[in-house]
Amino acid sequence: MRATIVGLPFHDSTIELAHGAGGKASRRLIEGLFLPLLMNPMLAELHDAALLATGHGTLALTTDAFVVRPLRFPGGSIGELAVNGTINDLAVSGARPLALAAAFIVEAGLSSDVLRAEVEALAAAAARAGVPVVTGDTKVVEHGKADGLYIVTTGLGFVDPRLRLGSGFVQPGDRVLVSGPIGDHGITVLLARGELDLEADLVSDTRPLTPFVDALTATAAPGLRWMRDPTRGGVATALNELARDTGLAVVLEEEAIPVRDAVRGACEVLGLDPLHIANEGQLLVVVAPEWADAALAALRSVPGGQDAACIGTIETHPPGVVTVTTAYGGRRVVDMLVGDPLPRIC
C-alpha cells in the first residue's frame, strides 16, 4: 500500500477550473495545498474512500460534490449522479454501501419543480441501489451564486473481507479490464449544453457499479488487485495515477479499448482523446493474469457490461508511464489530463 505522498509544489495565485478537472492541476492542488495542511495516514492514501478499521470490520467513508451543468442531460441528472457517483467511490474501494447523506446548496430563484425533480431522481437512484439517505442539509444562497443547484453526498459502507485492493498489490503481468465503452458521459454532457454545432445519439453511462463489483467478487475475488471508476480525467488519468503509485508501466492496446463511434467522432472534431473523457458508469480493474478470463466473463454477465474488454497489461518498462500501442504497431505515451477541456461534467 502507498505509505507516503511525493508532494507536488503548488504556487498558483488563483484557483481555476483546471484545478477541479481531476488531472495534473488537481493533483498539484491536492498534494501542494490540501495534504500538507490536513495530512494523516488515511488521507495520505488518496483512495476514493478512507478505510476505517473497527472491531467489527473495516468501514469505508467517502464524500463528493456534484456541480454538473446542465442539471439534466440525456441518460441522467444531477440527482441521480449524486447517488451513483458516491456509491461508486465505495464500490471501487471494495465496500458495500450502507447509507448516504445528502446536502443541497440551492440558488434563490430556482423553480421548486426543478428541485422536486432532482430530489425525486436522487430518491429513485438510492432506492434502486438499496441504499437509504439517512441525513442531510439544505442551504439557500443568493441568486447568481450557485448556478441553480449543487449537491454534496457522503457515503458509508462496509469493506468486503474477501477483497484486498490497492496499487501496492499490482504486479507485472496483471491485466487491465474495462467494463464498457468509454467517454459516453463527458461527451453527452458537453453536447447537452448546446454550445457546439454537433449532435450525436448518446446518453450518459451513469449507474451504480455495485453489480459489476458483486459479480467480480463472486467469481474472481482472489485475483482482484485494484479498481477505479474513471470519472474526471478519464481512463488516462486513473491509469497514470496507478503507474505513478506503483512505478510500473501500463501498456494499453488501442484497438481493444471500446469507444462508441459517436464519442470517437466528437473527440476527433474537438481534438480530444477519448482516454481523457469522463465516465460515470464504467469500471477499471487490474486483475491477476490467471483470473483475467473469469473476471472478464463476470463483467460481461452484468447488464451493461456486454462490451467489457481486456485493454492492456501491467509491465515493468517504461516505469511509471502509460503507453498505448496503436493500430499501426506504433506506441505513444498517454499522459495525465492537462487543463480542463470539459468543465462541470459531474
Average pLDDT over residues 104-113: 98
- Give me the helix-helix angle, 78-91 and 112-129, nearest 10°: 30
Average pLDDT over residues 309-328: 96
- Give me the helix-helix angle, 78-91 and 210-220, nearest 10°: 20
The CA-CA-CA angle for residues 32, 34, 38, to 5°, reads 125
**What is the distance between the alpha carbons of residues 205 and 82, in angstroms, rounded to a whole number?**
14
Residue 225 CB-density burial (10 A; 0-12 exposed, 13-18 middle, 19+ buried): buried
- Give me the helix-helix angle, 292-300 and 210-220, nearest 10°: 140
How many Å is the Cα radius of gyration of the chain? 19
pLDDT recorded at residue 1: 41
Supply φ then ψ for residue 318, to 5 degrees.
-75, 135
Q: What does the pLDDT look like over 271-314, one tens digit per residue?
A: 999 999 999 999 999 999 999 999 999 999 999 999 999 999 99
Flag whether pLDDT at 175 surpasses 80.
yes
**Is the Cβ–Cβ distance between 100 and 131 less than 8 Å?**
yes
CATH pick for 48-159 out of 3.30.1330.10, 3.30.1330.60, 3.40.630.10, 3.90.330.10? 3.30.1330.10
Give the CA count within 13 Å in the CB-facing half-sphere of 178: 28
pTM: 0.93
pLDDT recorded at residue 3: 41
pLDDT recorded at residue 340: 72
Q: What does the pLDDT look like over 119-171, one tens digit per residue?
A: 999 999 999 999 999 999 999 999 999 999 999 999 999 999 999 999 999 99
Q: What does the pLDDT look like over 11-29, one tens digit per residue?
A: 899 999 889 888 888 889 9
Q: Within the chain, what is the greatest distance between any pair of CA atoms? A: 57
Cell numbers found for residue 285:
480493474
Question: CATH 3.90.650.10 occupies which residues in the chain?
Answer: 167-333
**Is the Cβ–Cβ distance between 9 and 25 less than 8 Å?**
no
DSSP class of residue 167 equals G
pLDDT recorded at residue 6: 52
**Is the Cβ–Cβ distance between 150 and 105 less than 8 Å?**
yes
pLDDT recorded at residue 9: 78
State whether CATH 3.90.650.10 applies to domain 167-333.
Answer: yes
**What is the distance between the alpha carbons of residues 328 and 32, in angstroms, rounded to a whole number?**
40
Flag whether pLDDT at 8 surpasses 80.
no
Exposure string for 92-115, b = 16+ CB within 10 A, e = fewer? bbbbbbeebbbbbbbbeebeeebb
Question: CATH 3.30.1330.10 occupies which residues in the chain?
Answer: 48-159
Cell numbers found for residue 69:
451543468
C-alpha torsion 79→83→89→91, nearest 10: -150
**What is the distance between the alpha carbons of residues 231 and 238, in angstroms, rounded to a whole number?**
8
Average pLDDT over residues 235-255: 97
pLDDT recorded at residue 327: 85
pLDDT recorded at residue 4: 46
Cell numbers found for residue 209:
457499479
Cell numbers found for residue 200:
450525436
Listed residue (185, 186, 112, 123) closest to 149, CA to CA: 112
What residues does 313 pair with on adjacent strands? 175, 251
Q: Give the pLDDT band of residue 2 (cuts 50, 70, 90).
A: very low
Cell numbers found for residue 331:
506506441
Q: What does the pLDDT look like over 176-199, one tens digit per residue?
A: 999 999 999 999 999 999 887 888
Q: What does the pLDDT look like over 43-94, one tens digit per residue?
A: 988 888 999 999 989 999 999 999 999 999 999 999 999 999 999 999 999 9
pLDDT recorded at residue 24: 85
Cell numbers found for residue 334:
498517454
Residue 213 one-letter amino acid: V
**What is the distance between the alpha carbons of residues 85 and 63, in angstroms, rounded to a whole number?**
9
- The answer for residues whose C-beta is within 8 angstroms of residue 179's C-beta and 6 or more apart is 209, 212, 282, 283, 284, 285, 299, 302, 304, 305, 308
pLDDT recorded at residue 7: 61
Helix (H) / strand (E) containing 97: strand 95-107
